[in-house]
Structures are given as structure tokens and as C-alpha cells.
Chains A and B, each alone.
Chain A
Amino acid sequence: MSVFTRRGQAPAQPAAPAAETTSRTIEPATYGYVAAADIDDKNVAAQPELDALARLAGAGDWPAIAGTLRGLERTDERRYAAIDKLGRLAAVDDGWLSAWLGAEPDNVDGLAVFAESLVHLAWEIRTANQADKVSADQWDAFFRVLKQVPPICRRATELAADDPAPHIVLLTAARGLQWKPDEYRALWAEVKKRAPHSATAVSRAVHYWKPRWYGSAELLAEFVDAEVGSAPPGSLLTPVRLDTLYFELCPDDEDERDAFRKGPRMAAAIDEAVADLAAADPTHPRLPYLRHWLAYLLQLHKRSSEAVVQFQAIGGYCGAPPWTIFANGKAVFTRSRATATLAWEDAGRPGPATVPHSIPAGA
């Protein structure tokens, strides 16, 4: 009869935005888009470097993996992306990782991947279900696995005090381990010392401050304003603000929420995000995340020519928010893309979007 309660639950899946009734459609190829059937809804973008790591892991070639990680700067976001990817892979099969750590027990990259793999394994056990749908056995295994993460991160930090990666891994583990807000703030200070405006770190830490975990609307807004507001353009933190405004800080009432999402506060956040994108390193691994949000919101704000540019840059991927939050992400993606494109056509194709030269316009 005793009810096992834990914080943290998946948000109720929001209904897809209402379709704008139109019988008109677009021919994706005309605009350099990928056809609906070929769109990948699992990945955020093409990630050849991560795919290469996956092949190495599959082949058990840990020395090559170690070499790849060694070649990246400690604070390079590509390194965090690689650790995340390798952690996911090891959560399924850790043979290569065990071999690696067996040979190089003090390799900080290896330890970071080890810690990250346990975070992913723990969440595989817990699932993303609401807390009350997670069984006692699942909680037990979740906590047992997750409790092993902080000692590994501590060990890595002893070996390389200025490395942000172990702390970034710990951001997710600490949330699962129900750290108190003060402990979490202290951890965040350690992250900030080592990686002041890391998009990976902020996108992980923001969950802690959501009302369904250990925060509130106020604490969440405070965190987002502080982090996104202080980051120089090009840091690519702005998707966090867009996401938070769209899903977390919006009014409960459906009509008010619609108006809010189309309103001036969102418009200002979009402007901020456009400037962020313009200043960003085009090879930054977090950049596709921003494009997905911008494509969706620019269309919603009737900035169709800019939206078309983003949809063209995104290509055939929709495995990222906001699409992944909707019940049928791919349909929302293609509808949003078609709506933006038709609006752009109706406006007489104003700049800056263009139709690819290789394909006859208006075919």
C-alpha cells in the first residue's frame, strides 16, 4: 500500500499544434528538401564524426577511440558530444570500454565515458515514464547504478582538475540522485569555473530547475535568464530559452498559451537566437539544435523566408526538439515546413531564402 514516490516525470505529451487547413502542398525537391518518407526522426543531423566513433566501438577499437578523444580540446563541445555518444553505446555493450579502462585505468576520457555510460544505463532502467509508473525494482537498480557515477567523476577530477567533462556528466546523475538545490548550485559553480558558457552543460542542468524535477517556474526562469542572458552570441545557449518559453513558462490556458507563443516575449527570444546563430561556429555540434527550434518558431511567427532557410539547412532530420516532443513529430515537421514554404511563395519569395539553382524554380 505504501506508495513509492519519486520526483521527476515525463511531461504529458503535448498535442501537435493544430494544422492550418490547406489543400495546397509542396514538392520537397523543388526547395532542396528531403521527401517526408526519407526524413530521419532519430537523429538531429548528419554526424559523421559520431558515426565513426560508433564504428570504432563496434569493432572494439578502443585505442582509436582514445586517440580521437585525445585529439579534442578539453572544452570542445565536440568532445562532450563524443562522450555522450560513446556513453550511450557502452550502456548497451561495454566490452570495449572495459578493455580500455583495464589497459588505461587513469584515462580521464575513458572515465568520463564510463560515468556517462552508467547515466544512460540508469535511465534505460528507469525509462522516461512518470515516476509512479516506475516499479520498485527499477528504482532500486536505477539508484544503484547511478550512485556509482559520482565516485568515478571524482576520480577523473583528481586526475585532471580543470576538465569540465566529468562535472557535466555529473549534472545529469545528480538530478537522478536527488541532490539538494544547494548541492546542485555548488556543482554548477564547478562546471562554470571550467566551462563558462557550455551549451551541453546548460542543456543538461536546465532540467533540474524544471517544476517537475526540483525547481519551479521562478527558479527555471532565473537560471535561464542568468545563463542565456550572460552568454556571448555564438555560444548556442539560446535553444534553451526557446524551449523553456515554449514548453515550461507558457500559460496553462490554451488560448493564452497560443498567444504567448506567438507574442512579443517569444519574438524577442527568436531575435536573440537568430543573432546567436549568426555568430556561431558553423561546425559547432549544438548548432543543429538551434536550427530545429528556429525553423519551427520562425514559421509560427510568420517569418517565412528565414524559416525556409533553416528548413533547407536542416535537411532530412527531425530527431530533435521541438519535433520530438510532439506525439507525431515527423508530421509536425513536414507540415511546418510546407506552411512556411507556401507562405514564402505567397509573399513572392522574398530574400534571404533561395531556390536551389540545380532544380528549375516552380517545377
Chain B
Amino acid sequence: MRRAAHFLTVIGLLVGFYLLSLGLLAVLLVIDVLVTKELGDHPAALKIMVFCYLATVGVGLIVYRAAFVSTRMRKPPGIAVSPAEEPRLWARVRELAAVVGTRPPREIRLVPDVNAAVWEDTKLLGLIPGKRHMMIGVPLLLGLTRAQLDSVIAHELGHYSGSHTRAGALYTRTRATVVSAKLAADRNQSAGHYSGAAVWAALFAAYARLVLSVTQPAARAQEHAADRVAAQVGGRAAAASALREIPVLDAAFDFYLERYVAPGAAFKALPMPAQVLGGFRELLQDPERRAELDEMRAKPPKSELGRFDSHPPIAERIAAIEALPGTAAAPEGGDAPALTLLTNPTAALSGVGARMLEEVSAGAVGLEWDRLAATVGHALATERAKVVRTVVANQTGQPSSLGAFLGLVESGRLDHVLAALPLSDAAKRLGATGRVARELAKTRLKSYLYAWILIELAPAGRATWKHSWAEAGGVPVLPDELDHDLGEALAALLAITPDTAPLRGVLHRAGVLA
């Protein structure tokens, strides 16, 4: 009885949303008509009319977005793989669907996210089922075991099993509707194009809060129910460890994209399609990175859940899973890497990678990692060198050169150069002044100067950059002796009493200074 009442409340809230929206639109339209008719000749007419029309358009857009929020995606991410292309993966998903007791999806997409999901193109507020899709994040295939992936997929399919399905669909739909209305209203407000944007944003936000808080317990209960399904299918241990592993993979994947893929995008230099995601697997296998990942597993990153995230906190979910009765063990073969589910992993990784490249940077060149490191390393060093080169050019009134820089130092103007550099974060944080500020500025200068010297050495092949998983963004490579001498020379230059002679010597011997 109580459940039925709650169900009706939620239907009421959804219907209420449409009544609210349509009522609002109707009132605005009436005002538009009146304003147009009555104010025809008034001097301020045009201004007021435009104001009212814009308010109507603004609300209309918000309502449109909410009403037609579809679980269907206009441009779904990643690539679809057919049963012919990936028979093992399809077979496994179908088996899991059978165990869970729900229909298998009609489409499986591989996507470049640390995520897995099932969605349906439902009709009539989610009451009539439609085509079912599943997406599986490639990073999960690269980082999880088969048993862990089973539990993740079973969790997603679990959302479509059992008695809560229909109610769940309604709840999901209602939440999606009000949230997308709120987001559309927020966008209007920040864009500032439509009249009364702040008012609409507040109104739709308040309604969204009401709906979310009413449906929150049910949404979280659904997640727990799906976790129980996952534990039955993949075993308690795999289900719990997958939950532990996903935040780690998530952090690692963000790091990977940010440090290894994104830096080259600005210079139209990216990894080869198969390596865009394949590199993530190599990073996960790098010994130093593995040690760091182990550290993260021991100290899991705090997940920041919004107040209305449908998911309960991960620690709570793990505790609930571990408290379940029955077997903890994973099915046989569950320890194998999830990637072994793919029949043609190279094609899959290349396909998704190519898709990502199109999105990140059209027209970019795909490069092997070392070539990529050299290209990006040179480009970044050029940017870094520019900081000090600009200062030198400003202070000498001449094109910047290493010789001109050394001349500044020799004429006792190192402090002027240091003072002209942008403050480092450390100096800002400490509020550093005087000698402390000067020493921290020298640390910055060293990095800019080193970059400058590298790009001077690069044309003659005396310096380049090599790819390394342990050091993000590649490591500069130069002959050992030169590297050593350069280190000493920079130390002498940046000592309390600066000495330029060693650096002059090194640069002269390397052929980049007369």
C-alpha cells in the first residue's frame, strides 16, 4: 500500500512538472499577446516586447529539454561491436542477462570511460520498454579481471531485473526530467540570454530538489539491489573488489589522459589510435606506477558524491556486499584479465581510440610514444623557455639569446630577471618576500632556463625527449657528460654568488654559444 502511494506520489511529481511548465508557458504566451496588442505604439514597446519574448523562449527551451530528455543518445560515444566481431563478449553478456533474469541488450558499445551502463529507448514515461543498449568502458576491460567485470555488468543488468523495474524506470525518468530542466535553466542563466533566467533557474532547481529528495531512498535501494545481483553472479569478493578498483582506475585513467594524451592535443600530436587506450594498459603495468596504484588501493581516494547521487557511498556498498550470505569465491577463470573477453582487442582498441582522436583534435597526427614525447617535449619546453626569453628581450631591448641572458647576469641584473618572472605557486602560498622569494624564483628560472637550453641543443640532435610511464610527459635525454656539466653550471649560476663561467663553457662546448 505504502509503495503504491509512493509510486503515485512520484507520478504526481512528474505530471506536476509538466503542469507547472505548461502553465508557466501559457501565462507567458498570454502576456506576450497582450503586450504585443496593447503596447503597439508605446516608445518602450520594443524593449518590453523583446523582454517578454525572450522569457518565453527561455522557459520554452527549458521545458523542451526536460520533456524530450531521452535516454536515447543523439551521438552515442565509442563504437558498437557486433556479435560477429566480439562473440565472446556477447556470449558472456547474454549469459549474465540470463542469470540475472532480464533481456540481453541489442547493442553493445565500447566506450573510453571508466564506466559501464545499460539504457533503454523507452516510451511513455518509461512505461513501455524499448531497444536496450549496453556500454562497457574499455578502461574496465584493461584494468579489471573477468570476475570483476562480470559483477559490474551484472550490476547494470540488475537494474532491469525484479519487481522494481517499472517503478525504477519511472523514478529514473522523473529524476532525469527534472535534472535536465534544472541544467537547462542553469545554462540559460550562465549564458544570460533569456529574460528572467535567474528566476527560472531557482524555480526549476527547487522542483528538482523536491523530486530528488522524494525519490532518493528508492534510488539508493535500487543500487543495493543491483549490488546483490552482482555479488550472486561474480562472487562477493569480485563484486567488492570491483567497487574498490573502479575509483582507482578512474583516478589513474584521468591522470593518464591528462598527462599522456591531452598535452599533445594543443600541438596536434596524439598517440596512434590503438595506443590511445592501449597506453593505459602499459601505464597500469609500469612497475613504478603499479606501486603508486597499490598505494591508492590502500588509501582509496575519497569519492565525492553529490547529495542526490543515486549511488550510496562506495564504502557502504562494499560493507553491504561483504555482509551477504553465500559464496565469496569468483567463478572459475575469473582471475583472467577482462580483456581476454575480446576476440580482437587490437581492432576494438583502435576503433575506440580513433573515435576519441576525432573528438579531441581533428586532423591530429598519430605518433609512436617516443616520437610523441619528442614532439610534445619540444613544444612544452618552447613554451617554458618563452617565459624567460620574454624577460630577457624586455630587459635588453634585443632579441633574446642565451648570450644576452648571461650578459644580464654578468652585469649584476640577475635579481631584476628573477623579480620579473611570474610568482611560483610556492612563493604565493608562503607569501614569500626577500631572500626566500628570490631563491624560489631561482628554482623557476632553473626550469625555464633548462628548457631553453634543451631547445637550443635539440636541432643538432644533442637533446631530445624520450617517452616514460614513470615520468609523465617524457624525459629529456642528453649525453650523460653534458647533462652532468649542465647541472653543475646551473648550480653555479644560481648560487648565492652567481658564476656564469661554467655555463658559458658548457654552452660553448655544446656549440650553442659563441
Contacts and interface: CB of A to CB of B under 8 A. Distances in A.
Interface in B421-437: 424-427, 429-430, 432, 434-436
A93 B440 contact: no
A138 B440 contact: yes
B443 A140 contact: yes
A114 to B, nearest CB: 8
Name the prevailing secondary structure of the A interface residues.
Answer: helix
A92 B289 CA distance: 41
A93 B433 CA distance: 11
Given A91-B435, A94-B435, A125-B436, A2 B442 contact: no
A144 B495 CA distance: 8
A135 interface: yes
A298 B496 CA distance: 47
B444 interface: yes
A230 B491 CA distance: 42
Interface in B279-323: 288-289, 292, 295
Given A1-B472, A91-B435, A124-B436, A144 B292 contact: no
Contacts of A118: 496
Nearest to B255: A1
Chain B interface helix/strand/loop/mixed: helix
A358 B427 CA distance: 54
A268 interface: no
Contacts of A125: 432, 436, 439-440
Contacts of A145: 439, 496
Interface residues of B, number: 28
Contacts of B427: 137
A2 B435 contact: no
Interface in B446-463: 446
A280 interface: no
A359 B432 CA distance: 49
Interface string B483-514: 00000000100111000000000000000000
B446 A135 contact: no
29 contacts: A1-B255, A1-B292, A1-B472, A2-B292, A2-B470, A3-B295, A92-B434, A93-B435, A118-B496, A121-B435, A121-B436, A121-B439, A124-B435, A124-B436, A125-B436, A125-B439, A135-B429, A137-B425, A137-B426, A137-B427, A138-B430, A138-B440, A140-B443, A141-B443, A144-B442, A144-B494, A145-B496, A147-B491, A148-B496
Given A1-B472, A92-B435, A144-B494, 5 more contacts: A1-B292, A2-B470, A137-B424, A137-B443, A138-B440
Interface of B: 255, 288-289, 292, 295, 424-427, 429-430, 432, 434-436, 439-440, 442-444, 446, 470-472, 491, 494-496
List the 5 shortest-distance A-B pairs measured between CB atoms, nearest first: A137-B426, A141-B439, A140-B443, A135-B426, A141-B443
